[in-house]
Amino acid sequence: MIKVGIIGATGYAGAELVRILLNHKDCEIKWYGSKSYVGQNYADVYKNMFELVEDECLDDNIDKMAEEVDVIFTATPQGYLSTILNEDILKKVKVIDLSADYRIKDVDIYEKWYGIHHGSPELIEKAVYGLCEVNREEIKHTRLLANPGCFTTCSILTAYPLVKEGYIDGNTLIVDAKSGTSGAGRGAKQQNLFCEVNESIKAYGVATHRHTPEIEEQLSYAAGEEIVISFTPHLVPMNRGILATEYASLKEVTLPDGSKGYPTSDMIAEAYNKYYKNEKFVRFLGEGATPETKWVEGSNFVDIGFKVDERTHRVVMMGVIDNLVKGAAGQAVQNMNLMFGLPEDEGLRMVPMFP
């Protein structure tokens, strides 16, 4: 039985970790860490957990926690973990960080986009970026796992095969992303009130959103060259789900018949199948499919479709995830499974809920 501690168990991502781990047959949550609810019953903070969780919320003392558990999940504000994590802790426990602190290899880029001083840059090198479908082998051997962001998971996986195959020009990539409101967290802010969000849609963080450099870094690795993209998130009046609609110009390549030309729909479908056919959690829906966030709600799936626009020689790629599952807690558990040698889908066989 893997003993689990969670720092930030009372945020939405933390609560989703709890929901998933309660049905994970090899795990036991030993420590519900919180900042605001210490001493309160966890089931009073999340009433859906009544009779399912009997524990009280504890504090977020990572040193003490490291003595008592095998793995710590951190679902904490940006910058916080970097100030408390160190080698000693990592010797005792594995750490899976749902914040952004160890995702970006270049600490200057991190500090610039986040406007935060990084407290332990020396650990960044040790961290593995936990996009399972791309970094599976490294993940298995790390003790410090940087769990990808919600927008980034969706954005990267949707474009990855076409970038990797050199079918699209990375610098033409535009990611127009739409997210449910749970991504904004459980903090009491006027802008996230029901009446402010409901019956409305808006963009935010235009040209400045912090997930941009994370997407760029990973896609640059795939492309073998630096890529600069446009990324625009939008807030949608729904609880869960991210849809990334991605646009890129096709590059002229050598076609199967030896001539030069734009990749065909068949070639693009083949590229997706090449990378994802054996991936349990990526479902490639085929050409012309327009995935809906509802098709993956509550599950760890990424659903992907695409359409070639012959008039503009662009391809429109579309991917959806549940931001709290594949975009946060589910992917974190997928990473844990890899790090502990368990079946990758253990505890993650949730069937999407519809409607």
Which of the residues are catalytic? 150
Residues between 187 and 206 with contacts to its own copies, criterion CB under 8 A: 187-190, 192-204, 206
d(C-alpha 268, C-alpha 264), whole Å: 6
* Closer residue to its own copies in complex, CB, 13/336: 13
Buried b (16+ CB within 10 A) or exposed e, 219-239: bbbbbeeebebebbbbbbebe
* Crossing angle of the two packed helices 211-223 and 150-164, in degrees rounded to 10: 20
Buried b (16+ CB within 10 A) or exposed e, 65-83: bbeebbbbbbbbeebbbbe
d(C-alpha 289, C-alpha 320), whole Å: 12
Specify whether the CB–CB gap between 31 and 68 falls below 8 A.
yes
- Shortest reach from residue 283's CB to its own copies, in Å: 5
Residue 259: count other Cβ atoms within 10 Å of its Cβ: 8
Residues between 103 and 162 with contacts to its own copies, criterion CB under 8 A: none
* Closer residue to its own copies in complex, CB, 1/351: 351
- Shortest reach from residue 119's CB to its own copies, in Å: 27
Interface pick for its own copies out of 60, 217, 303, 344 (rule CB under 8 A) = 303
Number of residues that bind its own copies (CB under 8 A): 84
- Shortest reach from residue 291's CB to its own copies, in Å: 7
Residues between 283 and 302 with contacts to its own copies, criterion CB under 8 A: 283, 285, 288, 290-299
Residues between 226 and 255 with contacts to its own copies, criterion CB under 8 A: 228-230, 232, 234, 236-241, 243, 245, 247
Residues between 48 and 77 with contacts to its own copies, criterion CB under 8 A: 48-52
Binding status of residue 309 toward its own copies by CB under 8 A: yes
- Shortest reach from residue 40's CB to its own copies, in Å: 14
Non-local CB neighbours of 277 within 8 Å, separated by 6+ positions: 284
Binding status of residue 278 toward its own copies by CB under 8 A: no
Binding status of residue 307 toward its own copies by CB under 8 A: yes
Binding status of residue 86 toward its own copies by CB under 8 A: no
Reference 22, options 58, 61, 48; nearest CA is 48
CA torsion 102→76→134→350, rounded to 10°? 170
Binding status of residue 332 toward its own copies by CB under 8 A: no
